[in-house]
Structure 1
């Protein structure tokens, strides 16, 4: 046994040192970082990004080594509360409500607190922790999210940390599932299976999903699983799995029109019916006459009321304010509608003008749509980019990886009590992303990004 350990150490010395370094940095990230300390946050993130690049470079064919490394990095966060996001308070709140037979889509947290006698463990702490913005709106988290919140509330035993641990384990299992089905999908696409580790070891995915408890990973697990089933022609089974992805986060709805050419009219019609029926079944337990109005109103806020880490929107706002002497908050309400219409039109253009019969082309179409949406959006939180990372893994384009590093500059807003952004830092972020994307679009040979592939 000692001989084997010595041999393993000699073969993987640099990789083992990198893993130990990553564990140390993730430990500092999880247990000794205040989100107001931007220089420390930036330094840790850049170091982790460099280390994950070198680790894949050294060990890309060593599946077990990279798998264990990715799991260890995530387990570092297991027993700590998120330090870059307060959304988890609302997750636990919703789970506690359902556990006690209360529909989270029908009651505002502020409403319930004012009524008193609320049968929710740690109600005051959860209400204060979620913040005023969340407390005055109905829940916007779809049913599968609510199911996870509820399980976490039951198994957490009324403890905030207990619920966090259950949610975190769920997200870790989902990431392992993405790796499993992602490797299978890569093989179906005749691509190297090791590419899946560009997601699995990406610091943004680890910090924002496992660390800060965002459920994009659960959504992507069902999404990648569904695409794999599509790739092996089990599209009837893929439909309900795809609906599970939608019912974690609504984003995959954007891609549904693209399947029209891939399946053909008859198959796609049945696929849409199965997805729609599955979504209705999942929504049914929460249905009431006021449910649709409350939910659509809350979701609509994200298109018309918020702005964070925006690219094109900030340029438009600058022109709007200087040329028309208008108020910035007047723009965001109109702009959200313009973005929604633009994304719908862009999706329809790619649906009918791009030849999506090939799965490789279909995935690139998804990447184009989501990229366009994020470029136009007035709100691009760091964890949103994780979806782009996963899509890019199945293509030859790497600008999403660049963005997963550059987006750390948006965290500067956390260092201010009023969350004021530094537009110079955001400009650097988007110059890096746009610059690398332009390079990939105009590059020669395989690097060239064909928007309307023959």
Structure 2
């Protein structure tokens, strides 16, 4: 384990140095044109980290799960994150929106009430003048961060618990990317510790925590890029651990907090009904409502403004969704608005699969795993960091195809540096990059299914 840990640490150190331009490149600084950023070199390093990661996973079953190896696993995972923390985010700028939302909140402005662009638009109403001056002041005190915010004309999409985290960071270290990333890494470390406890509770080898703890995609998206999804993951895995311990009320509380951190844990809440844990179900709903209540009472925000960002996201966002892209091609033949048709079909497909999962006799934890995996695969938006929602469950339900996908998704970022193009069919275009990410995954799944089928046939023959 020590040998692999040291090799991985060297790779992640090289990534951090590369991001700052110390390896003969300009690095990943925001103002550098995307095409000049060294993503090709990053990809080589990422691939090296993934090869080491695969080697460790393959050896885990043969390594004794003693205190020494457990310590090496967890200490190394924390060390990798510490190495990546000072790095420049690789092709990411979401963190600047987190900074804006947090600073707006501690200034006394409801972050849902105004999109950032409002700081540059003088209000027609005198009653809004005070808020305008505050927004303008926020913009002018850190113009670089403001300039780097994407989609300034859209109100924030991030739920209340995320807003609380952003506000806390703004109070403790205004405008600090490092503080925000450190916070997200602490949440991420909490996920690792909970997974370790879960595996022990389930009488599984706790060293399989490495599937999440050393996963290169997780390390890149949280410790380097500073995505806040680790907060929602912490809530979800805490909720799952409480399920295993049959502490249902705590599980309901955790998943309720997960929903107000990132909406996707909402798909897990109805699973309490299977166990007839109605108190946990209603408790989670109450927490979601309580999380939003202060924002409804704050300033002049209403239902429309609080959920306007989410509405825009649901209507307009499409990015890197493979199945959605397959559906939109034939939909283009029959509809003037194929995007809406494709989204509706994806939604109906997911609803049908979710219902099958709900009524299946599999354990609740496996239902959660299947539900979140299918959510990612059927979503019109397949950002790589969204797949991090799936990876913790792979420690328990190990799936080689999904581990492969966690590697392939990094190819998405080549979109910033290479114009690889795509092909057009029936008026809709699919990028080659998307095919490179998903086609090997689906072919591998097909290969696995065929192998299982052959094995089952061979077993039947032996029995006969």
TM-score by length of 1: 0.84
Shift of 1:401: 1.0
- 8 Å CA contact retained: 1:175, 1:221: yes
- 8 Å CA contact retained: 1:260, 1:351: no
110, 113, 124: which one aligns with 2:143: 124
- 8 Å CA contact retained: 1:304, 1:334: no
Residues 259 and 419 of structure 1: CA distance in aligned 2, closer, same or farther (over 3 Å): farther
Q: Please say if 1:41 is aligned against 2:42.
A: yes
Q: Please say if 1:444 is aligned against 2:457.
A: no
- 2:157 corresponds to: 140
Shift of 1:346: 2.3
Secondary structure, in 3 states, of the residue corresponding to 1:365?
helix
Unmatched segments (≥5 aa) in structure 2 = 22-26, 29-33, 123-131, 423-428, 457-464
Shift of 1:440: 4.0
147, 154, 164: which one aligns with 2:177: 164
Unmatched segments (≥5 aa) in structure 1 = 1-10, 449-454
Distance 1:193 1:16 in 2: 17
Q: Please say if 1:311 is aligned against 2:311.
A: no
Distance 2:210 2:289 in 1: 35
225, 237, 254: which one aligns with 2:267: 254
246, 261, 283: which one aligns with 1:274: 283
Residues 28 and 320 of structure 1: CA distance in aligned 2, closer, same or farther (over 3 Å): farther
Shift of 1:316: 2.3
Q: Please say if 1:355 is aligned against 2:357.
A: no
Secondary structure, in 3 states, of the residue corresponding to 1:130?
coil
- 8 Å CA contact retained: 2:250, 2:280: no
- 1:180 corresponds to: 193
Distance 1:416 1:57 in 2: 33
375, 391, 394: which one aligns with 2:393: 391
Shift of 1:16: 5.4
Residues 29 and 143 of structure 1: CA distance in aligned 2, closer, same or farther (over 3 Å): farther
Distance 1:189 1:259 in 2: 20
Residues 294 and 333 of structure 1: CA distance in aligned 2, closer, same or farther (over 3 Å): farther
Shift of 1:56: 4.9
Per-residue deviation, residues 58-97 of structure 1 (Å, max 9, x unmatched)? 6754122222221121112333442321111110000000
Shift of 1:393: 1.7
- 8 Å CA contact retained: 2:16, 2:88: no
Per-residue deviation, residues 268-321 of structure 1 (Å, max 9, x unmatched)? x22111001111222222114743222333213333312221212222233344
- 2:53 corresponds to: 52
- 8 Å CA contact retained: 1:29, 1:41: yes
Residues 128 and 419 of structure 1: CA distance in aligned 2, closer, same or farther (over 3 Å): farther
Distance 2:353 2:148 in 1: 39
Residues 167 and 371 of structure 1: CA distance in aligned 2, closer, same or farther (over 3 Å): same
- 8 Å CA contact retained: 1:95, 1:151: yes
- 1:28 corresponds to: 17
Q: Please say if 1:431 is aligned against 2:442.
A: no
Residues 16 and 387 of structure 1: CA distance in aligned 2, closer, same or farther (over 3 Å): closer
Residues 422 and 412 of structure 1: CA distance in aligned 2, closer, same or farther (over 3 Å): farther
Distance 1:282 1:219 in 2: 14
Secondary structure, in 3 states, of the residue corresponding to 1:412?
helix
- 8 Å CA contact retained: 1:110, 1:136: yes
- 2:350 corresponds to: 343
Distance 2:373 2:9 in 1: 34
Runs of 4+ in 1 over 6 A off after TM superposition: 417-422
Shift of 1:47: 1.2
Residues 71 and 419 of structure 1: CA distance in aligned 2, closer, same or farther (over 3 Å): farther
Root-mean-square deviation (CA, aligned residues, Å) is 2.7
386, 408, 411: which one aligns with 1:409: 411
- 8 Å CA contact retained: 1:220, 1:245: yes
